[in-house]
Copies of this chain bind each other. A is one copy, B any other.
Amino acid sequence: MSADIVYRPIGILHTPFRDLEGMPIQPSGEASAPGTAQIFPAFADGLKDLEGFSHIILLYHLHQVQRADLRVVPFLDSETRGVFATRAPTRPNPIGLSVVKLNGIQENLLTVEGLDILDGTPLLDIKPYIPSFDERSEHRIGWLEGVDGNASTTISDDRFKAP
């Protein structure tokens, strides 16, 4: 039931962000932020056909997160929320998810837009973004109702830094 699950990075994400503080909090916050995903050569064969997709889903390991909180005060809020009702990084399993624009692929290097994460973040998986699988037309967004628009202008502070 609670056996360890072991993954290994398939690559490394490169971004302009060197500190957990002062980053855009979501890709939509800095849609033009440049980034690259460097795929390790052993996995480059799996990139075939990917450039047909304008957007991809990146799953990555939030390697600088030092603790897990079950309750957090998210950047867009002043109230304490359950961590699973937020996108805060201090999660039991610190897996990050971003939908990014894929601008090009050169051998094992993907050029993307909108990566809101630390330089050097280990990449776990790439999936094609497929609206018919990944989008839902009818939705409620709980505590984010009315504040999600602020994601585009909100910058991180040090609240999720260790300890």
Hey, which bits of chain A sit against chain B, CB under 8 A? 1-10, 12, 26-28, 40, 43, 45-57, 59, 61, 70-71, 80-87, 91-93, 95, 97, 99, 101, 122, 124-136, 138-145, 148-149, 151
Contact = CB atoms under 8 A, between A and B. Distances in A.
A49 B142 contact: yes
A11 B47 CA distance: 31
A30 to B, nearest CB: 13
A4 B124 CA distance: 11
Contact of A95 (B7, B86, B145): B7
Contacts of A143: 49, 52
Contact of A85 (B2, B47, B125): B47
